[in-house]
Structure 1
Amino acid sequence: MTDISVQSVAPLLNVEGLSASFAGRHTNIRIIDNVSFEVKPRRVLGIVGESGSGKSVTVRSVLGMLRHPGRIDTGKVMFNGRDLVGLPETEMRKIRGKDIAMVFQDPQAALNPVMTVGEQIAEALVVHGAGRAAARERALELLRQVGIPDVEHNVDQYPHQFSGGMRQRVVIAIALANKPLLLIADEPTTALDVTIQAQILRLLCDLKDELGLSIIMITHDMGVVAELCDDLVVMYGGRVMERGRVADVFSAPRHPYTAALLHSVPRIDSDTGSQLRAIPGSPPTPARLPSG
């Protein structure tokens, strides 16, 4: 049964017909093709697919972070009623890190090794107009919020003095510093062990409920989707194969690729000794897409 209350709410983010390409030596190579999806307020959208399916390029296009020679060819990115495509970089800087924030896959690479974690959280506030003293107090508050112990001491520690899970909590704290409406998490648990993965996922669930966040979760893990997400977009070869509510897609996948992804997930109720069902082949090269 369709949830009428959810369907009637206007989306916070509405991506329509987004296509992007990279300029090659002789031709432009289409990386994502006619991608459309929406994110409703206070809901979590999962974007899944194998490596190379276009997930990260899609969200970088949304944020205006495609590096040269990448470019958006067509489409709209409507955020809170405003089209982000074609906005000047000065305007996008006001949105990135304030209204839309991002958590990257590797916290070690995302953090500056020569700045304390408190300085890095404060910096995210200062660039959007906060004073230094207020930024310091907000940094302490955020570290408590994401579960860092002994914040008065740890706020002045450096990233290398933190564990991988604590570093990822700091990255989440930086993303939350300016109270964004939308948080984009690009495989935020991939570099962590299983126990810490579960803790970070639970933290994101709690923060969504506590702060009223909308979240885009990029992952290749269908277990993460089942744990955290309300809605789902399945990508392959730079295109959307299927989208819908997680419960509907999991119970009755309409596309063979979605079904294959679900069948490749280990199950505790499977027969002892049964083999995982791998997906044959590999994602297509964008420069040589097959027909069909």
Structure 2
Amino acid sequence: MRNVEISYDSKAVVHNVNLKIKYGEILGIVGESGSGKSTLIKAAIGLLGNDGSINKGNVFYKGNDLLNMKSEELRKIRGPEMGMIFQNCEAALSPTRTIGSQLKEMMKQHTDMDEKEILNMANAFFQKMNLDGSRILKSYPFELSGGMNQRVGIVMAMMLKPDLLFADEPTSALDIISQAQVVGELKKLRDEFGTAIVIVTHNIGIVSYMADKVAVMNQGNLIEYGETKDVINNPKQAYTKKLISAVPKIRKE
């Protein structure tokens, strides 16, 4: 992203943002609710909606400006090259269709794989996550727990093995054990496939654990950006210091 400004209903909500991510890198974007984190990744993947727009700047992917691409060109990139894990994967899935039918529809849109190949691949991904794929593929989203639906979202995003994965608050609705499992699975995906990951979260503790670089957003502005260890150990902005101090600490009495 180069000098990006984003507006909703003609009101600027994100101002002059510059960000970059390399192959195999994890970038964490942190900040409180309403700071512009999710808006950034929605802009990058082209999901701002009819009332959102990028007024200034450029969004480059592999040297091509996404803002100059036609919708059909973007459609070929979304999924096979740029994946998305939504904050609430259950809400992003159709409640009236099984997980298996939705996976098959997605894969048939982008590949020539037959049904058997698709189901075998899905089962292999679920097995890596220690889940019973045969049961999940036959289930509807409401029959699964929040953690299982979140893993379904990860599988759907990764089955096409994208080069770049956006994760919008992927752990916010999960209990602490499920959060740790999802974070571990994302790191495994990066290590196995070399996928670059942009993770949006309000939890700077998660970012300090898994991200190579961190970007701190406040009121639509990028106020701090750099190597995670540098930002965490030597924050320059008072807001960043407050985010770090808000991370719960376990102390002996």
User: Is the TM-score greater than 0.5?
Assistant: yes
User: What is the CA distance between 1:181 and its match in structure 2?
Assistant: 0.3
Structure 1 residues 154 and 65, CA gap change in structure 2 (3 angstroms): closer
Unaligned runs of 5+ in 1: 1-14, 273-292
Q: What does residue 128 of structure 2 align with?
A: 145
- Check conservation: 1:146, 1:170, Cα contact below 8 A: no
What SS is found at the alignment partner of 2:68? coil
Query: Do structure 1's residue 22 and structure 2's residue 8 form an aligned pair?
Result: yes
Instruction: Give the % identical residues.
Output: 38
Letter in 2 for 1:142: F
* Structure 1 position 220 matched with structure 2 position 202: yes
**8 Å contact kept, 1:180–1:213:** yes
TM-score between the two structures when normalised by the length of structure 1: 0.83
Q: Which amino acid aligns with 2:131?
A: I
The correspondence of residues 68-107 of structure 1 with structure 2, limited to 5 A, is 68-107=50-89
Q: Secondary structure at the match of 2:19?
A: strand
Does the alignment pair 1:121 with 2:108?
Answer: no
Which residue number corresponds to residue 241 of structure 1? 223
SS of the residue aligned with 2:224?
Answer: strand
Distance, in Å, in 1 between the alignment partners of 2:26 and 2:39 is: 19
Task: Give 2:6's aligned amino acid.
Answer: A
Question: Over aligned residue pairs, what C-alpha RMSD do you find?
Answer: 1.5
Match of 1:229 among 211, 231, 237: 211
- Quote how far apart the aligned CAs of 1:160 are: 2.0
What's the offset of the Cα at 1:139?
2.3
Match of 1:159 in 2: 141
Q: How does 1:130-141 map to 2 (within 5 A)?
A: 130-133=112-115, 134-141=117-124
5+ residue gaps, structure 2, are: none
In the other structure, the counterpart of 1:42 is 24
Deviations 1:242-281 (A, max 9, x none): 0001100011101111111111222224x86xxxxxxxxx
After superposition, the C-alpha distances for 1:10-44 in whole angstroms (9 at most, x for unaligned) are: xxxxx111111122xxxx21011111111111111
Structure 1 residues 125 and 249: alpha-carbon distance in aligned structure 2, compared to 1, 3 A threshold:
same
Aligned length: 252
CA distance in 1 between counterparts of 2:34 and 2:149 reads 26
**Cα displacement (A) at 1:79:** 0.8
Give the deviation of 1:142 after TM superposition.
2.5
Matched AA of 2:188: D
**Partner residue of 2:185?**
203
| Number of the residue aligned with 1:289 | none
User: Which protein is bigger by CA-based radius of gyration?
Assistant: 1
SS of the counterpart of 1:191? Answer: coil
1:163 positional shift:
1.6
Aligned-residue offset at 1:76: 1.1
Contact kept, 8 Å, 1:122 with 1:138, in 2: the verdict is no
Moved beyond 4 Å, runs of 4+? none
For residue 264 of structure 1, what is the aligned residue in structure 2? 246
1:132 shift after superposition: 3.5
Q: TM-score scaled by structure 2?
A: 0.95
Which whole-Å CA distance do the structure 2 matches of 1:143 and 1:130 have between them?
A: 21
> What one-letter code is carried by the residue in structure 2 that aligns with 1:147?
N
The higher relative CO (CA closer than 8 Å, separation ≥ 6) is in 2
8 Å Cα contact 1:230/1:246 also seen in 2: yes
Whether the aligned pair in 2 keeps the contact of 1:121 and 1:173 (CA below 8 Å) is no
Cα deviation digits, residues 76-104 of structure 1 (max 9, x gap)? 11111111113111111111111010101
Paired position in structure 1 for 2:15: 33
Q: Secondary structure at the match of 2:126?
A: helix
Amino acid at match of 2:30: V
Contact 1:147 1:169 in 2 (8 A): no
Q: Which has the higher helix share?
A: 2
- Amino acid across the alignment from 2:97: M
Q: Is the 8 A contact 1:31 1:238 kept in 2?
A: yes
1:12 aligns with none
> 2:71 is matched by which residue type in structure 1?
E
